[in-house]
Structure 1
Amino acid sequence: MSTTPVTQTHGTEHEAADPVEAVVHVVPVVLPVVGGLLMFLLAFIAIYVA
């Protein structure tokens, strides 16, 4: 007898996790913090060189 196995694909598919969507909710916090640190770092370098 040749019977083909029935594969059920409905409900077993999972979407791949999107790395962009995982980071987007953190961007409004991280961007100003990193910008502030960069400003202080550049000011410190300018004072040190002068």
Structure 2
Amino acid sequence: MTTPNTPASHEPATLEQDPIEGIVPKIPLVIPLVGGVLIFLLAFIAVSMA
């Protein structure tokens, strides 16, 4: 007995999540934190050079 031929699917069995879609929800938290760190570092450099 033979098994019936099933056409091979070209799509993956599970859809992979786009890496960008994983990062986008974190943007409202990350941008202010990075901005705060950048301002602190720039102030530290200005004070140390003065």
Which TM class, normalised by the smaller chain length?
0.7 to 0.9
Rounded to whole Å, the distance in 2 between the matches of 1:3 and 1:34 is 59
| 1:5 aligned residue | 5
Mark the runs of 5 or more structure 2 residues left unpaired by the alignment: none
Normalised by the length of structure 1, the TM-score is 0.74
Q: Please give the alpha-carbon distance, in whole angstroms, between the structure 1 residues aligned to 2:48 and 2:2.
A: 82
Paired AA for residue 43 in structure 1: A
SS at match of 1:15: coil
2-structure distance, mates of 1:13, 1:3: 21
4+ residue segments displaced more than 4 Å: 1-4
The aligned counterpart of 1:22 is 22
Unaligned 5+ segments in structure 1 are: none
* Identical residues among aligned pairs (%): 44
- Please, what is the CA RMSD of the aligned residues? 2.5
Aligned residue-pair number: 48
More off after superposition, 28-37 vs 14-23: 14-23
